[in-house]
Structure 1
Amino acid sequence: MRRVKVERFKFYILLVLVITSFIQVGILWSYQNEGLPTNFLWNIFANGEKKVRINVGDYVKPYRITATEGYDEAHYVIDESHEYYDKLWNEAGYYISSLLGEKNIVEKQTYTEEYWGEVVVKKSFVYEFKTKISTNILGSLLKIDKISNHEFDGIYKMAVLPRVDSNNNIGLYIYDGIKTYEFVLPLRPKGLSRDDYNNMLTTLGEGDDSYNYIVMNELMGINKTPYVIKPDTLIPRGSSWEDFDDIISMVPQDITNLGPTKKNDLENIATKVLGSDKERLTWGIDMDNSIVFRNPSKIYKLHRDGLLEYSYLYQFDKSDKGNEIEALENVLEFIGGKVDFVKGADIYLSGVKDNEDGYYTFTFDYKVNKRPVCFFNYPVNTGKESFVNNAITINANKKKVLSCYWIMKEFSFGSNSLKIRTYPYDLLDDVFKKYDYLNFENFSVKDVSISYDAKCSTESEHLKPVWVIETIDDKHYVVEMKEKKGD
């Protein structure tokens, strides 16, 4: 009997040692792979489903929606503040869901890229993302359980043509940047009718047409340019002088007021920037007066111009790449904990790149007062000459965020307004004057926008509206717009 008790006691001791060893290994593992030290225990008892705490739809949405009556007619831009935006986007979501689920497709056909130029000059409603959105991301956005295989793997632009035949059908056109895909589907039951679409076009035509657009090739008319222009490139019709709001960009007050020797200030900034990492990182002041938080596996660096740098310091496994939506979920959780720093701007997904090195690169940008803000050639302090061209640039895989550059800014309206000349012919003249190395062989036009130009600065700055030309080979040319001074 005594021997049995001794053996039982040894068993309990051994069990305790095994459990404590397991806990120590778990803490070490968690420490090197982000998250609180107890997270690995929680994962054992969790149901295995990954909870998406951030709404994908807050960041993945059309960059713009345009509506037109057809060839040589105005194209009206419908931004997020317009009463039609949500109605049209909800309808588009329904048709995309039907398409991805292979439901109710009456006909389908595939065309070359050039056919997309014919689609956008018909009576249509066109939805444009700033980058191609994969079917995986769209499935998550629209909560589609199972996605059928299609000829395309994502949507860059999409058009709804309310009338394609004498039956009660609509035409749905998908452009993925390479080909154009036509689908005929029944009109949504109890959705927008053909009369509803027509009434929208009528109302848009009767409204303020200051910012209506025209297809650039239509603007050129018989005087075709000797360089290549994408067939759906829109450009403002323009006018002599238009009023633009005075937009002010500044470093977030929490960063500006940060006293590196004041513990309360550091506690406050650590809570907002680091989240659950706060208790496990030490802090210090770098030679350039930036604040650095770090531990053996990661480092955050907050610069005085509002630039946040983040790096995961350990080697990552390329097999942890996963798919785009898994990586995007990690990215959005990372952004969501810090988004309060950015005030006065909307954040939208502007780029997705699948890297062969085992991760994805996501870029995000700001819109202020309905217009994009550009950060071209914004310097980052890496000890060598390096630049970013987007407000947020993040590398991530299915397990974690690997690195980030985030230009954190607050935006507000100033008391002055600007009178700006918006004739597109100014742009075409001035781009070749400013960039004198350009010629007809090395220049092209993929997109044209009126944007606010932001620079690297620790002080507040008044942003000027500029023309931004995006070329087919993904270069950007910024051209200052003509401003009327005085009365």
Structure 2
Amino acid sequence: MRKDNKERIKTRILIILILISVIQIGIHWNMQTQGLPFHFISGIFATNGRAANLDVESLREQYFIPETIMVSISTSHWRLDDRDSQFKKIWGDVRDNYLPSIIKQKPDKVLPKEQWAEITGARCVRIDFDTLWPGDLIYWLAEAKPSDNKGFEGIKSIVITPQMDVNETINTVFIYDENQIYQYQVNIKNEFLVKRYYSNLADEISRKNKPTLRLLSSVSNFSSDKDIFVALNDGKGSAFSTVMAVIPKDIALNRANIENYSIQDNILLEQKESLSANYTDSSRYAMFTDTENLYRLYNDGILEYKYIPSTSSNQDDISAAFKHAVTFIEQRRHLMGDADIFLKSINKKESYYEMKFEYKLEGVSIYYNDIEGVEINSPLIIKANSDRILECRWVIRYISKFDKPTNYNVNFADLLNKQIVSAYPEILDSKDRFFKRIEPGYIFELSDSDSGLLAPSWIISTESKDYFIPLIRKGG
């Protein structure tokens, strides 16, 4: 018995010594790389809770979202965005019911893109995306089976035309991929919205005093390679809040946020213990690095990341690259406040995919103008392949509403004949009548990081320049 007790005591002492040794090694290593010993100990017993493990359904609901839904009768159009209850209802029906059905069947017809204007000129519900979503990415998000048909190459727009088939159990749907148009006859099952919901939607919205829109090319001599819609009768106007966009206080670049690990907790996450910090009070940025990873956080709120080793990995799995990108974002999304982050473009490069993301608040775009003020840029650019994130540049702002919404004048005739004439007459005098965008929204610059109050403006982009004209309050 005594011998057994002695063995137990020895075992316990040995375990305690091993634990003490591990802690001492960790403290020694941590002091060399980070300068503070205590965070290592607390890190053993706690996590930051932000190790996002995103499933496909979460990604689909968070990122696969249209820019707008347009309800049309002939030349009259009404825009829905995610502030409208109909937007969520329609998109939920299309995403969860129509697309899974379409993926399983062959298109009834494949039409030339020249017929797009004719199709969208009928009574229809049109769903437009900010970018052309590649087919392989959509099939992955829809969790398509290998046996599914997968007939389209991508989606830029979807159109539902309820009056093209008199059968109440069938809706005609068109998918546009910027090269051709795919036509489908979709059987309306029990879980679908009834067909008359789509048939009656234009009449319902037209009675709500919502601004009626026209195609820009039909009411002016301006042109565009995309459909730009403008309001000629804006009714009571459109409601916008003043928006606050500031550098999150938890990652403001100062010694206190580094010494109390606030920056490391919010930016480096689970890598915080393995990266060495380099920062001086006179520096514009803090650098965190090891043999593979390099993070730079600048005093203007820009985060840069680079994977240091050279890589020749195959980048062909677009779904894996996309998941790496949005996981990186979601782990740090809390820094963005109430902003929505959406995919603006995705381009295949030689050994990676470049994905550009932009911001919205309650359906309204928040654009970023770089420090030179030359043109609008994407505030979040990620390069990723099938294996990992390779590079990231992220202009981080905590975005939230500052006050209650106020109605503003969005009448295109007033913009053209009053505001543009007085503020930027060169727009009308120029031979450059090709426009990339004319829309209400917000704009922020790096120099706005301290005050950060953004009022709604007209965002006007030609081929050569961007113009920002403040919206006028209704009745103001």
TM-score scaled by structure 1?
0.76
Matched residues in 2 for 1:247 and 1:332: separation? 25
- Contact 2:242 / 2:456 at 8 angstroms: preserved in 1? no
Distance in 2 (CA, whole Å) between partners of 1:479 and 1:86 is 30
Counterpart of 2:11 in structure 1 is none
DSSP-derived class of the 1:98 partner: helix
SS of the residue aligned with 1:102? coil
Q: Tell me whether 1:448 sits opposite 2:452 in the alignment.
A: no
Hey, what's the Cα distance between the residues in 2 that align with 1:229 and 1:387? 18
Work out whether 1:398 is the aligned partner of 2:386: yes
User: Could you report, residue by residue, the CA deviation over 1:170-209 in whole angstroms, capped at 9, with x for unpaired residues?
Assistant: 2211111232332223233441222222343333222241
Task: Assess, with a 3 A threshold, how the Cα gap between structure 1 residues 110 and 141 changes in structure 2: closer, same or farther.
Answer: same
Question: Contact 1:260–1:291 at 8 Å: present in 2 too?
Answer: no
Deviations 1:190-241 (A, max 9, x none): 41222222343333222241x4422223434xxxx1x533473222335497
Q: Give 1:288 shift.
A: 3.4
1:246 matched residue in structure 2: 242
- How big is each residue's C-alpha offset from its partner over 1:300-356, in whole Å with a ceiling of 9 and x where there is no partner? 111222211111122111x42132111001111111111110002111111111113
Aligned with 2:468: secondary structure? Answer: strand
Which deviates more, 293-302 or 186-195? 186-195
Supply the AA of the counterpart residue of 1:84. Q
Secondary structure of the 1:196 match is helix
Q: What SS is found at the alignment partner of 1:228?
A: coil
Q: Please give the secondary structure, in 2, of the residue aligned with 1:163.
A: helix
1:63 aligns with 2:67: yes
Q: Secondary structure of 1:394's match?
A: strand
The correspondence for 1:97, drawn from 100, 116, 137, is 100
- The AA in structure 1 aligned to 2:349 is N
- Partner residue in 1 for 2:402: 414
Aligned equivalent of 2:119: 119
1:479 aligns with 2:474: no
Return the offset for 1:120: 2.0
> Secondary structure of the residue that 1:459 maps to in structure 2?
coil
* Residue in structure 2 matched with residue 369 of structure 1 by the alignment: 362
Partner of 1:465: 456
State the TM-score, normalized to the length of structure 2: 0.78
Deviations 1:390-448 (A, max 9, x none): 12110000011111111111123334766643221355566697384887764423543
Write the letter of the residue equivalent to 1:145. Answer: K
Quick one: structure 1 residues 426 and 355, their matched pair in 2 at CA, closer, same or farther if it must change by over 3 Å?
farther
1:304 corresponds in structure 2 to 299
Q: Which amino acid aligns with 2:194?
A: S
Cα distance between partner residues in 2 of 1:295 and 1:354: 29
Partner of 1:160: 160
CA deviations 1:56-92 (Å, max 9, x no partner) are 2201211111212x1132x222222322223211321
Structure 1 residues not aligned, in runs of 5+: 1-50, 380-384
Of stretches 417-426 and 169-178 in structure 1, the one that deviates more from structure 2 is 417-426
> Helix, strand or coil for the counterpart of 1:279?
coil
Are 1:292 and 2:295 an aligned pair? Answer: no
Matched, 1:177 2:178: yes
Separation (CA, whole Å) in 2 of partners of 1:147 and 1:443: 48
Distance 1:476 1:108, change over 3 A: farther
Counterparts of 1:303 and 1:238 in 2: how far apart (Å)? 45
**Number of matched residues?**
415
Measured in 1, the distance between the counterparts of 2:111 and 2:150 equals: 11
Secondary structure of the residue that 1:375 maps to in structure 2?
A: strand
Cα distance between partner residues in 2 of 1:328 and 1:60:
12
Partner of 1:43: none
1:476 CA drift (Å): 6.1
| Aligned counterparts, 1:198-277, within 5 A | 198-209=199-210, 211-220=211-220, 225=221, 227-230=222-225, 232-237=227-232, 239=234, 244-256=240-252, 259-261=254-256, 264-265=259-260, 267-277=261-271
Contact persistence 1:234–1:447 (CA under 8 A):
no
Please give the alpha-carbon distance, in whole angstroms, between the structure 1 residues aligned to 2:375 and 2:433.
23
How many angstroms apart in 2 are the aligned matches of 1:83 and 1:149? 32
The one-letter code matched in structure 1 to 2:424 is K
CA RMSD of aligned residues (A): 3.1
Instruction: Report the Cα distance in structure 2 between the residues aligned to 1:247 and 1:263, rounded to whole angstroms.
Output: 29
CA shift for structure 1 position 296:
2.2
Deviations 1:89-113 (A, max 9, x none): 132122222222226x5x213122x
Q: Which amino acid aligns with 2:412?
A: P
Question: Which residue identity is paired with 1:102?
Answer: Q
Shift of 1:486: 11
Assess if the C-alpha contact under 8 Å between 2:374 and 2:466 holds in 1.
Answer: no
Q: Give the aligned residue type for 1:246.
A: T
- Kept in 1, the 8 Å contact 2:237–2:474? The answer is no
Of 329, 333, 337, 2:327 maps to: 333
The percentage of aligned residue pairs carrying the same residue is 21
Query: Over residues 112-168 of structure 1, what are the superposed CA-to-partner deviations in whole Å (9 max), with x where a residue is unaligned?
Result: 2x3222222211111111000011111122221237566641001111111212334
C-alpha contact 1:63 1:130 (8 A) present in aligned 2: yes
Distance across 2 between alignment mates of 1:355 and 1:441: 34
Which amino acid letter does the alignment assign opposite residue 162 of structure 1?
P
Matches of 2:425 and 2:305, distance apart in 1: 35
Counterpart amino acid of 2:330? Answer: G
| Alpha-carbon distance between aligned partners in 1 of 2:207 and 2:427, rounded to the nearest angstrom | 43
Q: What SS does the aligned partner of 2:201 have?
A: helix
Any idea what SS the aligned residue of 1:137 has? helix
Confirm whether residue 139 of structure 1 aligns to residue 132 of structure 2: no
TM-aligned CA distance change 1:261 to 1:216, over 3 Å: closer
The 1:133/1:252 distance shift into structure 2, 3 A limit, reads same
CA distance in structure 2 between the aligned counterparts of 1:375 and 1:86, rounded to whole angstroms: 27
Cα distance in 2 for residues equivalent to 1:241 and 1:233: 18
Q: Secondary structure at the match of 1:292?
A: strand
Worse-superposed segment, 272-281 or 160-169? 160-169
Q: CA deviation at 1:246?
A: 1.6
Tell whether the 8 Å contact from 1:378 to 1:387 is kept in structure 2 after alignment.
no
